[in-house]
Amino acid sequence: MKLFESKKVIGLTAAITLLAGTLAGCGSTNGAADAGAEVATGAEASAETNEATAAPKESTNDLYATIKERGKIIIAMEGQWAPWTYHDESGELVGFDTEVGQEIAKRLGVDAEFVEGEWDGLFAGLDGGRYDMIINGVEITDLRKEKYDFTEPYAYIRTALVVKDDNSDITSFDDLKGKKTSNSLGSTYADLAADLGAEVQNVDTLSETIDMVLSGRVDATLNAEVSFYDYLGEHPDAPIKIVALTDDASEVSIPLRKGEETASLREAVNAAIAEMSSDGTLTELSTKYFGRDITK
């Protein structure tokens, strides 16, 4: 899952905020009446775009058959969590998970359409049928397995505990009790911090959480080890440090709605992941974005 566990349909900017489950505020200099009219018009436009973009109501109990018929698979991701899924300098959506999604779609014989949103809204969109799957560094947990069916893992990551470089009070996960951390709402990192007795403040992006650590508003943050290394690669002078890592690696997988509806899709995606592993595609993509192979 997320470095940050963190936003638009490519080429369909009107649908971004609605699909993310949040509404951006609109400013107006023409008075309250004009502002209200502007919001209403935007809502109508967004609703029309969302209807056209969202995964259609299934006419069959076989989601894979529906995807093949429509010719595209709708994939949800944050788009703000480098190097998993983010925008490069040209604004193009790139990243390890982005290319994994594109490759899976190609092997299924369909196009990939990406919908970006905030982390806590991705699962709500999957539940509501707006997306076919989430590819966003999602870690398999017992709680998530109760609600979703997961594909075979395609990556393995450890969780890192990060503090400001002059912090000597926190040296292990046990030291988080009574401390403040920042993470995405509903992420495995936020859940882990809470389980360890920390007070968790919700944020959306990695940059936000690092800023909160550096400003002293929180004491620490947790996230994928590889995501922190990527951040330090981009910001080598950032005064942060990794003080602890989980002993065991977590499995990163693709969650699908639970049930027979997704059974054949899960089988097809598992076959694609197996092929990508055996032919070296996953290793190549991992090395490209992480500088190491996290797929084995």
**DSSP E strand boundaries for 105-158:** 111-116, 133-134, 138-139, 148-150, 155-157
Return the CA Rg of the chain.
20
pLDDT digits (tens, 9 = 90+) for 245-269: 999 999 999 999 999 999 999 999 9
Kindly state whether residue 50 falls inside one of the protein's structural domains.
Answer: no
Is there a contact between 9 and 16 (Cβ–Cβ < 8 Å)? yes
**68 lies in the same domain as 151:** yes
pTM score: 0.74
Task: Clarify whether residues 256 and 277 are in a common domain.
Answer: yes
Residues 200 and 93 in one domain: no
Q: Strand ranges (DSSP E) for 131-214? A: 133-134, 138-139, 148-150, 155-157, 159-164, 180-183, 199-202
The reply to whether 6 falls in a domain is no
What's the mean pLDDT in 75-87?
A: 96
Cα 152 from Cα 277, distance rounded (Å) = 11
Which of 4-8, 210-214, 276-280 has the lowest average pLDDT?
A: 4-8
Task: Note down the domain range covering 179.
Answer: 159-245
Geometric angle at alpha carbon 2, from 120 and 294, rounded to 5°: 145
CATH of the domain at 90: 3.40.190.10
Q: What are the tens digits of pLDDT across the range 125-134?
A: 999 999 999 9
Say if 40 falls within a structural domain.
no
Which residues are paired to 75 by β-bridges?
Answer: 114, 133
H-helix or E-strand spanning residue 224: strand 221-224
What φ, ψ does residue 36 adopt, rounded to 5°?
-65, -40
142 and 68 in one domain?
A: yes
Distance (Å) of CA 178 to CA 68, 165, 188, 218:
51, 20, 19, 11
Cα four-point dihedral sign 136, 283, 294, 241: negative
Pick the closest to residue 64 from 270, 257, 260, 264 (CA basis). 264
Same domain for 87 and 193?
no
Same domain for 261 and 127: yes
Q: Are residues 145 and 92 in the same domain?
A: yes
Judge if 184 and 216 occupy the same domain: yes
With respect to residue 194, please indicate whether it lies within any of the assigned structural domains. yes
Same domain (yes/no): 192, 179? yes
Is residue 182 a part of any domain in this protein? Answer: yes
Lowest-confidence region among 56-60, 82-86, 252-256: 56-60
> How many separate domains does the chain show?
2
In a domain, 283, yes or no: yes
Say yes or no: 177 and 124 in one domain: no
